[in-house]
Structures are given as C-alpha cells and as structure tokens.
Amino acid sequence: MRAMPTLYRLTKGPFSLRVVHAGKRLIVGEGEDQIVQTFASDAAAAEHLQHMISRRRREGCRVETSEVGDPSELAEADPLTGVLKWDPERRRATISLHRVEAAARMCEAALARMVQLQPTTLHVVCDPASPGAAFASALARAPLPSVERLILDTPFQTVTRQRLNGFGDLADALAGLPALTAAFLTGDLVLRPTAHATLRNLFLLGDPLPSGLVASLGKSRLPSLQSLGLMLARDAAPGPEPAAAAALASLQAPKLATLDVDGLADLTGFLSALSARPLPPSWTRLSLDGHVDDEDALLALLEARAPVLRALQVLGLPLTDALSEPGAARAQQLVPGLVDREELPDRMLPATYEEW
C-alpha cells in the first residue's frame, strides 16, 4: 500500500521551508516559488529528501513532520499556485507570470492545465515577466479548441511598459486556438502571414507595433473579421504608419466593418494613404486618433477625398483636440459622417475585454 504523503517543515529562526514527499515527487517550497522534482522511484525521492534534511540539520534547522491525510492539503503544493487563477462560472483562466527565470516553464505548465479546465477565455498577465516563444509553441503542440477569447495584456500597465513583452509567433498561437473569436494583444508582437476562420474581433497594441507584424497582417486571410483595432505607437512614435495603411488595403477580411487606429504621428498623411483608393465596401466605421500638424492640410484632404470618405457611416477624428471650432465645423460639412473621436468609445483599453 502506498504511503500517505508526508509534510516536512524545516525551520531556523525566520527561515522556513516546506517539503512534501508524495511518492516519486518532492514538492519543495510554497506558492510560485515551488519546485516539483520527480524521481525514478519512491526510494530515490526519499534518499534525496534525507540528504536535504541532513544538510539542513547541520545548518541548525529543526525538522517537524506530519502525515498529509487529506488530499486537499496538497493544494498548497500545486506548482501553479499564484500563477493560475480559475473562474469556473465564467470558464475564465488567468495566467500571471511574475518571475523572469520561471516564466516560460510556468506558462507551459499552465497551458497544459488548460487541457483539463477547458476555458473559454484565456488571459495572460505579464507581471512583469513574459513567456516568450514558449506561449505560442505550447499552443502549437497542444491546441485548445475550447478557447474563444484570448487576452495578452496587463491591465494595470501602460502599453509602453508592456512594449517588450513577447509571446512567440502569433500565427502558431492562432493555429492552436481554432475556435477563437476575439483577441486583445499587447507587446512586442510577432506574426507571419496567417489565416483564421473564426476570428471576429482583433486588437493589436504596441509601442511601437512592429512593422513586420503589420506587414504580415496585410498578407493574412481573416474571413470572419468584423472589428480591428491597431495601436501603432504610444510614446515611441512614429509607428509603422505607411505599412499599416498598406496592410489595411490588402488584408483579406471581406466582413471587416469597424476599424480603430490610434497612435498616429501624422494623421493627415495616414488618412491620405488610406483614402487614395475607394475603401472596401464592408467598412462602415473608421476612427483615427493622433497628431494633426496642419489644420488647413487636413481640411484640404477632406475636401479632396470627400467622395471616398462619404462611403463611411462614421468617420471619427480628433476634432476638438486637433482643429479650431470653425475648422471642425467645415470638416463636418465636407464629410457628413464625421464625428469627434471623443464621442466614440475608446476600444484600445482593458474595458474592451473586461466582460470577456
């Protein structure tokens, strides 16, 4: 009969170390600092434990033992304690990564747990560590068909503070999430040209958003995409504005209706590039936010491109912040669907995904 798990508590003054011997496993430490070691046999684990205890006793530690009779007492020994939060009612899993040296390993372990949990929403919080390529590669190896919503964002950090967070190639992540319908992704994002059948809402934020990702987006096929948001830059302006304009023109997304593009260092130049040809017939709302250097240049562009821009039901521009009152009135005469950007919801904020 297999022996019950045994808890060893090693103490010396303020120092305290918790070790659980459970069969072939030794679980050393608590919470996110735990290390789980698996040995070839129970005897090998016990031998390693005795070496550890002998060394600690020589250092002056006291050792107290107790039998772990209730399996629930082993919950503290879960290596994902402090890393994985599970909301069973909403089927929402949150992975929080705190230690740089353990981020990839903890992310892989948490994603492996998703196979049993079957979440519909998956949220990765980099606080402050990010998993790097381990995230995308783990999904490529073990897809999660239950996940419908993906969030790679730390809501209490700015986009600038998250600018170095990496997750591997998002094309691999998307392939591992075949039922995904919504994604809100922030960081140093990587993407090769891809296709995804079910993705309807996509938000990409960077400081700046990598030009390679933007170019690959323009070569991608997203037949269900209805809403797209791009934060091209925050503090590191300018972002990849010419690449973004070209990508929006070439992206294969026949159902795309709503677009938000923020962080424009040259809003007039971006709108000029975007409206140089007729807009895709599916587009109904376009919202742009950024810097307008010359009011007269923007008004001249709106007058010249009014036939193209009138195809939109709503065009959002920063009227109050960028134009004089007479200039804003003139702009709205030229394009009847023009509204102040402030009147539209800011969808590049965590509020977008809070209810996912």
Position 32 scores a pLDDT of 53
Position 111 scores a pLDDT of 95
The domains located in the chain, with CATH, are 6-77 (2.20.140.10), 84-352 (3.80.10.10)
Position 3 scores a pLDDT of 67
Give the integer Cα–Cα distance in Å for 201 and 245. 19
pLDDT along the chain (356 residues), means of 10: 79 87 82 68 90 89 83 59 87 95 94 91 97 97 97 97 98 98 98 98 98 97 98 93 97 98 97 97 98 96 98 97 95 96 96 94
- C-alpha to C-alpha distances, 285 to 26, 30, 158, 171, nearest whole angstrom: 57, 51, 26, 27
Instruction: Name every residue whose Cβ is closer than 8 Å to that of residue 94 and which is 6 or more positions away in sequence.
Output: 84, 85, 86, 87, 123, 124, 125
Position 74 scores a pLDDT of 54
Position 37 scores a pLDDT of 72
pTM of the model: 0.80
Position 303 scores a pLDDT of 98
Structure tokens, 96: 């929080």
Q: Is 228 helix (H, G, I), strand (E, B) or coil?
A: strand
16, 64 Cβ separation under 8 angstroms? no
Cα dihedral 83, 208, 294, 228 in deg (nearest 10): -60
Position 26 scores a pLDDT of 84
Give the integer Cα–Cα distance in Å for 292 and 271. 11
Structure tokens, 276: 């140089």
Element (H, E) at 85: strand 84-87
Position 73 scores a pLDDT of 52
